[in-house]
Amino acid sequence: MRNPNATSALVATLGLALALAGCPKRDDGAKPEPSADAGTAATPPPVVKEAPADAARGEKLVGQFECNRCHTGAGGAHATQSKDCVGCHADIIAGRFEAPPASIAKWTPRVKDLQYAPTLTSLGKRVTRRFVEDFLRLPLDQRPHLAQSMPRLALSAADARDLAAHLVPDGDETSESSVATAPELASADLGKGRRVLETKGCGSCHAFTGVAPIAASSPPAMAPKDFARAHALAPDLRTTRARTTPAKLVAWLRDPQAVKSDTSMPKIALTAAEIRDVAAYLLSAELAPPTAKTKAARLPVLTRKVTFAEVDEKVFHRTCWHCHSEPDFAIGDGGPGNSGGYGFKPRGLNLSSYQGIAAGYVDDAGERTSIFLKDEETGTPRIVRALLARHDEEDGRETGAVRGMPLGYPALSSEEIQLVESWVAQGRPR
Ligand code: HEC
Ligand code: HEC
Ligand code: HEC
Ligand code: HEC
């Protein structure tokens, strides 16, 4: 992944190393000569000046991109219930939402995919700024028990940099510190570290892909509701080395609540030696390469007739409509995909009616454009490309100019995409 800060840090470090390498010469008492040689050796290659990170701007961006519709802990006011994606869905599931019981029963299975998001409270004490910046630019699926629901937002490199500076106020030079030299991990025993994971119940919440599976033995005593949340939000421990530093990791394992007051990971009694050993294992156990994800199958178009009523029921009115609806009907908010939101400009795409779908969306040039327009190279309609791109996003791939749909929601199945594609291929009958 491209990381401009890392590159400039590397350039700066190299420059420093070269400058230091020139020093011992001065020890022989000779007057340092401003020789041409020394001059070139000590001059680092020209550095493209990066604008420094602007945390104050990052704080404002939290409001602009509406991070608080899903997260708490990023600063700023939390979204009201009518805008709070995660909060409203969680309220429905918990019975805190005012609606007839029959509606709640119908909705509950529909809202479960977006009922949890990690809080961002004291993020800087837990992870590195570099991790946050990279994650914002390309959100990865870190939590195997949670749908991959952090959306790919329209953030520029500078936006990601500034948001990361706001969320992780102290820069983290220490992220470069190597596991081998970290004083916190001196004389750690990886075998014992592995046994801590196996015997202290870590596997009841965490997966650790790339090492032999950790049994889910001895889960901590917790209320089922709290356990469900903790289980859903527990990251794959494979990600730990990309997220954090040895010092931050050790502090976390010693007392998660002391680092992050609202965390749902319980404090597990561990000795200092156990913490050292398990931290070393998390950061340096040898990992098998990630299992290659199989691409979703692209099914041939159906020969039977597909009507709008069927596609509408199974796709548009089930999933898409929620973000692409009729603003008049939905109290002025047509959802992020229609009237704008999450920092997206209003695209005017209303997927709640046949006419709305036919009217298309407002493209970057401000022109109304059909969502059925075929890609010149592959002949695939825009809407189908968006549906396919969501599979790529879930697998961590870049998707270029196409944003995956449904945005930040589980990808449609191959059969559902086939249905949409068949309907388009048949001339979109009513
Ligand atoms: C639609 C809901 C939603 C919105 C809007 C959203 N996020 Fe997230 N975010 C999530 C979810 C869900 C996750 C967990 C994803 C995972 O780890 O697999 C997440 C993860 C994160 C993480 C990683 C945290 C961790 O501990 O792993 C960061 C950082 C983050 N989001 C920052 C932001 C910022 C900054 C914004 C606004 C610019 C934002 N998010 C907007 C839902 C959202
Ligand atoms: C005021 C409460 C509320 C808010 C706020 C809310 N939702 Fe929902 N959401 C619901 C309900 C209720 C349903 C089920 C609707 C149905 O079944 O017809 C739903 C369903 C959905 C679905 C369809 C899921 C499926 O089955 O395919 C998606 C997608 C969705 N919500 C995303 C979001 C996003 C993203 C946000 C924030 C931008 C959001 N919701 C905000 C109440 C809410
Ligand atoms: C009851 C479930 C649960 C158990 C048991 C559990 N964890 Fe966690 N763990 C979590 C959750 C949830 C998070 C995410 C914390 C957050 O964002 O608030 C987490 C986070 C972590 C992190 C990452 C911190 C970060 O932000 O990068 C590490 C490392 C970790 N756990 C290790 C362990 C180890 C080692 C054990 C066993 C000694 C363990 N966990 C036991 C739920 C659990
Ligand atoms: C969580 C909210 C959300 C859901 C659910 C959602 N969309 Fe979107 N959609 C958006 C946003 C936001 C945009 C604007 C993206 C942009 O400006 O880059 C958008 C844009 C689009 C576009 C526009 C053009 C383009 O850039 O490709 C298409 C097509 C689209 N959505 C189709 C769908 C379909 C089909 C579904 C249901 C399977 C769906 N969307 C579900 C939020 C959503």
pLDDT (tens digit per residue) in 309-328 = 999 999 999 999 999 998 77
| Contact by Cβ (8 Å): 203, 110 | no
Supply the residue whose CA is at minimum distance from atom 19 of ligand 3. 234
pLDDT per residue over 348-363, tens digit each?
Answer: 999 999 999 999 999 9
The percent of residues above 70 in pLDDT, for the chain, comes to: 86
Token pair in block for residue 356: 């709305």
Token pair in block for residue 289: 């390469």
pLDDT reported for residue 348: 95
| Contact by Cβ (8 Å): 65, 153 | yes
pLDDT reported for residue 47: 61
CA 88, CA 83: separation in Å to the nearest integer? 8
Q: What is the CA(345)–ligand 4 centre distance, in A? A: 12
> Which ligand is the nearest neighbour of the Cα of 195?
3
pLDDT reported for residue 6: 36
- Nearest CA to 280 out of 415, 185, 359 is that of 185
Query: Ligand 4 pocket test: which of 113, 312, 350, 407 has the largest number of ligand atoms within 8 Å of its C-beta?
Result: 407
pLDDT reported for residue 296: 85
pLDDT reported for residue 37: 41
pLDDT of residue 127 exceeding 50: yes
Mean pLDDT of the chain: 87
Confidence of residue 41 (pLDDT cuts 50, 70, 90): very low
> Which ligand is the nearest neighbour of the Cα of 73?
1
pLDDT of residue 234 exceeding 60: yes
Tell me the one-letter amino acid at 32. P
Confidence of residue 44 (pLDDT cuts 50, 70, 90): low
| Contact by Cβ (8 Å): 417, 165 | no
pLDDT reported for residue 416: 98
pLDDT per residue over 131-158, tens digit each?
Answer: 999 999 999 899 999 998 999 999 999 9
pLDDT of residue 425 exceeding 80: yes
pLDDT (average), residues 173-185: 73
pLDDT (average), residues 219-247: 95
pLDDT of residue 20 exceeding 70: no
Supply the residue whose CA is at minimum distance from atom 38 of ligand 3. 202
Q: What is the CA(127)–ligand 3 centre distance, in A? A: 13
Give me the residue label for tokens 């990992």.
287
Token pair in block for residue 380: 């695939």
Beta carbon of 371 within 6 Å of any ligand 4 atom: yes
Pocket lining for ligand 3, CB < 6 angstroms? 118, 126-127, 197, 200-202, 204-206, 220, 227, 230-231, 233-235, 237, 240, 243-244, 249, 252-253, 260, 263-266, 268, 278, 282
Distance of CA 408 to the CA centre of its chain: 9
Confidence of residue 177 (pLDDT cuts 50, 70, 90): low
> Which ligand is the nearest neighbour of the Cα of 319?
2
pLDDT reported for residue 46: 62
The percent of residues above 90 in pLDDT, for the chain, comes to: 78
CA 343, CA 62: separation in Å to the nearest integer? 10
Pocket lining for ligand 1, CB < 6 angstroms? 65-67, 69-71, 74, 85, 117-118, 120, 132, 135-136, 141-143, 146, 148-151, 153, 163, 342, 408
Token pair in block for residue 231: 């289980």
pLDDT of residue 240 exceeding 50: yes
What is the end-to-end Cα distance of the chain in Å, rounded?
A: 45
pLDDT (average), residues 27-33: 37
Give me the residue label for tokens 């700066």.
12
pLDDT (average), residues 27-42: 40
Confidence of residue 172 (pLDDT cuts 50, 70, 90): low
> Which ligand is the nearest neighbour of the Cα of 265?
3
Query: Ligand 2 pocket test: which of 110, 315, 352, 409 has the largest number of ligand atoms within 8 Å of its C-beta?
Result: 110
Supply the residue whose CA is at minimum distance from atom 43 of ligand 3. 265
pLDDT of residue 63 exceeding 70: yes
pLDDT per residue over 365-410, tens digit each?
Answer: 999 999 999 999 999 999 999 999 999 999 889 999 899 999 999 9
Confidence of residue 331 (pLDDT cuts 50, 70, 90): low
CA 182, CA 248: separation in Å to the nearest integer? 11
Query: Ligand 1 pocket test: which of 70, 322, 390 has the largest number of ligand atoms within 8 Å of its C-beta?
Result: 70
| Contact by Cβ (8 Å): 152, 139 | yes
Token pair in block for residue 288: 């098998």
CA 228, CA 234: separation in Å to the nearest integer? 10
Token pair in block for residue 283: 């950061």
